[in-house]
Structure 1
Amino acid sequence: MEVVAAGPAQTSNAPAAGEKWALPLIVLIVGMFAVVLDTTIVNVAIPHIQRDIGASAKDVEWIATAYNLALGMVVPLAGWLGDRIGLSRLYALSLVAFAVTSVLCGLAWDLPSLVVFRVLQAVPGGILPVISVTMLYRIVPPEKIGSAMGMYGLGVVFAPAIGPTLGGWLLEHTTWPAIFFINGPIGLIGAVATLAVFPRIRPTTWPKFDLIGFVTVAYGLFAILLASSEGKNWGWDAYPTLILFATGGLSLALFVVIELEIENPLLDLRVFKSWVYTNSVLLVVVLMIGLNAVLFYLPLFMQEGQGYTALHTGLVLLPEAMALVVMMPIAGRLYDMFGARIPAVIGLVIATYGTYLLMDLSPNTTEFQYMWWTALRAVGVAMAMMPIMTAGLSALPPEMTGAGSGWNNVGQRVSAALGLAGFGVFVNAQQQQMIADRSALISPADAGSVPGLREALDQGVQGLYGIYAKLQVDVLAQTYADVFFIATLLTGAAVGLAFMLPHGAPNAAGQPARPAPEPSPAEESTGEPPSPAEPSAGGPEVPSERVPEPVSAGHR
């Protein structure tokens, strides 16, 4: 994307009047919420889709895999497209495209058509999260960034948490196409609202497209995500898996070399010169790995190990979503008051303890325990996530916010895939070893030979099949508990990194929300800031798009 030096005019990019940024922020939240919700709500529906369209369990996984692969390839394009056609226009077009492709997914008649429509849906689905953060930094005053990011975080963290509940309810009362149709009106209404509340400024430049950079990063992400998704089916030591990992890594290394040499990089690597930003990306990656582990393995155990329905599982996990709703805005206010370090450290400590409690997972875990453990952990995640992301992006110059948002999304996408892939390898190995070890010790005559066997016999479980089924559930619980043990270690280790985040209110201490401009000679002589200059007709496109006029409901 074309990088433009920051100037005094760029500090006037927020609405001048009080709360005129609130309505545009709501539009951004709704769009982000719909996109992130789509991922988890589709995962809940996959068994129903498999049954209705008659696909195998292995083939139906491509509904999620194809979407993630396309998403990883599209994310790097978002910044360039924003510069090329304008952020506001791109946001509206992406919402319309997301609505249309979602409806197409609901109308799919077989698995191949559904996979194709999911790939098309991933194009706007990858663009919207990147440009949403960039637009947020353009419309919100610096002193309100923390509060705004706290509200915006509802789409980042609350949507995955509420997905199982909403998906379970829809599947209980309707059919699986409803999970796609629900995006139609949301996207269209959001697009109309975007045109109503955001200024429409036409771009005046055409930034050059970094084709080589796109090819290298797109293939690198595609190869690594594909190997991570299919490694469990192909074998982690199989040639296709190893070749994809090797070529993907080499392609990403080539991308780094290219981006450091060209004038207009697709994804600016200079954002990583800021340790605050780099540290924030590392912390977000750790939080996303733990969040995805909990969101994936806990509902899986509740349904496979304890026989919960999808709706029942969602209702049990509803307090987690409610805790996120309450804590996200509070976390934003805490950032505005104290900076990132205090809420991040406290939040990570709470999240670590909440994940530690999940290590007590067993076939006898009660609904109250699920609610308490996940809600407590959600409080910690909500308190830490947005202050961490806000501190990282605020450490960058305004013109690099888009690149920072892009790298944030790439990090979240890759860490989620690699994290679940790594946990999948661990789970498979643990289950096979524990099943083999405990099966060899099963002896109905000696009820103490296997943990839990005497209890099973006392409860009337008779025959080797019943004993083996009980053993499988016990092993499943122990394996997932070990996953949460690893997540606990990762989250606990992140506390040390959180101590390196900036401390103090953003506008009072060394980490301002946005760099303050140097006073001009006119300002020094009069003591008053000069009136902002109007952009010329032939001026560069990026400052025009990134310095919008005050937003109002009827402004165009």
Structure 2
Amino acid sequence: MNASTEVAGASPALVDVKRGPIVAALIIGAFVAILNETLLNIAFPDLMTEFSIAPATIQWLSTAYMLVIGILVPVTALLQQWFTTRQMFLTAMILFLAGTIVCGAAPAFGVLLVGRVVQALGTGLLLPVMMNTILVIFPPEKRGGAMGMIGLVIMFGPAIGPTLAGLIIDQLNWRWLFFLVVPLAAFSVIFAAAFLRNVSDITKPKVDILSILLSTAGFGGIVYGFSKAGEGSWSAPEVVWTITVGGIALALFIIRQLLVREPILDLRAFRFPMFSLVTVMMLVLMMTLFSTMILLPLFLQTALLMTAFSAGLTLMPGGIINGVMAPISGKLFDKYGPRVLVVPGLILVLLAVWLFTYISVDTSAGYVVALHIILLVGISLVMMPAQTTGLNQLPRSLYPHGTAILNTLQQVAGAIGTALFISIMSSGTKDFMAEKPNATPAEGLVAGLHDAFVIGFAIGCVALVLGFFIKRVQAPKEESKQEVA
């Protein structure tokens, strides 16, 4: 069957297409990209020493990565209507491979940063394509299990990343964080070239340059502004101006998308109530999740005086269990629907975050491991089932737009959550030390963490309230007709 026949086939289930090799290609690419994203942070001290740079400079390796993804992902809805699944995925992985090679061989920090940006271009293309392809090749009643497999890979990378990075740095050096990924990325390209099929609809809509510029300025300004706020002060002119300009550009972008005939990001997806509900809930939940994922390593290394490698080992069990739970929750979702998973999952998340408000300098590592496992089991019951529920309500024509919206807003939530909770922690630490000048820095940090976790708990309560309104939705009439055809 040739590509045109595949695309022309009206059935989203695409009965004649072998789903296994397609899913395998997606999983390999996603694992490679997400693993590398989590490997690098632990190498920051070594990179600062080698290139003689300050912490504010080294943070650009993370800030630029997040910024590029935040800018690129909204445009992927347009790109997926211009280019085939194979073209998008192979371009993404080749960019990622090229960026990885540049990073590993970088003679100077500037070159390393360029390589990181090229990697981010690949990752930004990859994530929405992966979700959209799953929506196209699986009917609604089987998407939970497929999304669960993707969730396993997405969570397994972060679970082993810090520990693996610590081991590599101890035994070799930071360049091997990239060199060891090169064969995996190359294998992903070869495997996808051999087995990945074209499953997308190519409509080639009109390219609205003004919308792309507004999207870039809007999402880029907001992600950059909040990222910089997390590094320093909310009142810094750079932060105020970038967030302001980003907000204005984003408002103009939204207005334009509602007016033009062929928007690059079709906001009509928000006409579907379950998609809108899930989008808001995921935005809130991601902020709560970041309150924990950002603050826990600080607690382990600063208050409990663990090495980066030990901290990675402490957080690894929760990540592995989360990865194992992802396909299980996907299968349960297919059988029972979202509510029986999402509500208990959110309760577990809130329980863990609330118990984190009681940690101290005397807290044992085992207690942190237990709470982290509870948190990530809860997340595994919520993330993929909720996203799949929201996307299931959309007609096929809106799949690229729905996946782009969800991925973009999660990047924005990550930037806002990081900045918000780091600033709350810093402010709480400062106030505590002012009240108790004889306290140790570790005690001050813990006091700041308590404040951040309390706010994280409050925000998480909003997600729980929204979770009670989530329910299984029927496939749109457009999709049902296609399947019959």
TMscore range, shorter length = over 0.9
Q: CA–CA distance in 2 between the matches of 1:357 and 1:493? A: 18
The corresponding residue for 2:89 is 91
Q: Is the 8 A contact 2:66 2:120 kept in 1?
A: yes
Counterparts of 1:309-324 in structure 2 under 5 Å? 309-324=307-322
Select the structure that is richer in helix: 2
Q: Is the 8 A contact 2:73 2:124 kept in 1?
A: yes
Which deviates more from structure 2 when the two are superposed, residues 80-89 or residues 362-371?
80-89
Is residue 239 of structure 2 the alignment partner of residue 241 of structure 1?
A: yes
Q: Is the 8 A contact 2:12 2:479 kept in 1?
A: no
Which deviates more from structure 2 when the two are superposed, residues 154-163 or residues 182-191?
154-163
Q: Is the 8 A contact 2:231 2:419 kept in 1?
A: no
Equivalent position amino acid for 2:275 in 1:
Y
Q: Is the 8 A contact 1:234 1:240 kept in 2?
A: no
**Structure with greater Cα Rg:** 1
Match of 2:351 among 347, 353, 369: 353
The corresponding residue for 1:486 is 455
Q: For residue 40 of structure 2, give the secondary structure of its aligned residue in structure 1.
A: helix
Match of 1:51 among 45, 49, 52: 49
Equivalent position amino acid for 2:313 in 1:
L
Counterparts of 1:147-226 in structure 2 under 5 Å? 147-200=145-198, 206-226=204-224
The corresponding residue for 2:276 is 278
Counterparts of 1:399-548 in structure 2 under 5 Å? 399-439=397-437, 442=438, 471-503=440-472, 510-512=473-475, 516-518=479-481
Counterparts of 1:290-439 in structure 2 under 5 Å? 290-439=288-437
Q: Is the 8 A contact 2:162 2:309 kept in 1?
A: yes
The corresponding residue for 1:462 is none
1:155/1:284 Cα in 2 relative to 1: closer, same or farther (>3 Å)?
farther
Could you state the TM-score of these two structures normalised by the residue count of structure 2? 0.93
Equivalent position amino acid for 1:217 in 2:
S
Q: Is the 8 A contact 2:136 2:200 kept in 1?
A: no
Q: CA–CA distance in 2 between the matches of 1:108 and 1:60? A: 14
Is residue 9 of structure 2 the alignment partner of residue 40 of structure 1?
A: no
Q: For residue 55 of structure 1, give the secondary structure of its aligned residue in structure 2.
A: coil
- Unmatched segments (≥5 aa) in structure 1: 1-6, 443-467, 504-509, 521-528, 533-556
Q: Deviations over 1:320-353 (max 9, x none)?
A: 0121122111110111111111100111111111
Q: CA–CA distance in 1 between the matches of 2:335 and 2:13? A: 23
1:85/1:8 Cα in 2 relative to 1: closer, same or farther (>3 Å)?
closer
1:85/1:68 Cα in 2 relative to 1: closer, same or farther (>3 Å)?
same
Match of 1:252 among 250, 253, 265: 250
Q: Is the 8 A contact 1:72 1:413 kept in 2?
A: yes
1:233/1:320 Cα in 2 relative to 1: closer, same or farther (>3 Å)?
closer
Q: What's the CA shift for 1:378?
A: 0.9
- Unmatched segments (≥5 aa) in structure 2: 1-6
The corresponding residue for 2:4 is none
Q: CA–CA distance in 1 between the matches of 2:339 and 2:201? A: 38
Q: CA–CA distance in 1 between the matches of 2:408 and 2:200? A: 28
Q: CA–CA distance in 2 between the matches of 1:105 and 1:518? A: 48
Q: Is the 8 A contact 1:75 1:406 kept in 2?
A: yes
Q: Is the 8 A contact 1:34 1:183 kept in 2?
A: yes
The corresponding residue for 1:137 is 135
Q: For residue 14 of structure 2, give the secondary structure of its aligned residue in structure 1.
A: coil
1:232/1:375 Cα in 2 relative to 1: closer, same or farther (>3 Å)?
closer
Q: What's the CA shift for 1:286?
A: 2.2
Q: For residue 10 of structure 2, give the secondary structure of its aligned residue in structure 1.
A: helix
Q: CA–CA distance in 1 between the matches of 2:202 and 2:330? A: 36
Q: Is the 8 A contact 1:142 1:513 kept in 2?
A: no
Which deviates more from structure 2 when the two are superposed, residues 209-218 or residues 109-118?
109-118
Q: CA–CA distance in 1 between the matches of 2:101 and 2:482? A: 52
Q: Is the 8 A contact 2:83 2:202 kept in 1?
A: no
Q: What's the CA shift for 1:77?
A: 2.1
Q: Is the 8 A contact 1:145 1:513 kept in 2?
A: no
- Superposed CA RMSD: 2.3
Q: What's the CA shift for 1:88?
A: 1.7
Q: Deviations over 1:507-535 (max 9, x none)?
A: xxx43488553499xxxxxxxx6xx6xxx
1:198/1:366 Cα in 2 relative to 1: closer, same or farther (>3 Å)?
same
Q: CA–CA distance in 2 between the matches of 1:302 and 1:408? A: 31
Q: CA–CA distance in 1 between the matches of 2:162 and 2:103? A: 19
Q: What's the CA shift for 1:170?
A: 1.8
Q: For residue 517 of structure 1, give the secondary structure of its aligned residue in structure 2.
A: helix
Q: What's the CA shift for 1:408?
A: 0.7
Q: Deviations over 1:158-179 (max 9, x none)?
A: 3333322222222222211122
User: How many equivalent pairs are there?
Assistant: 479
Could you state the TM-score of these two structures normalised by the residue count of structure 1? 0.82
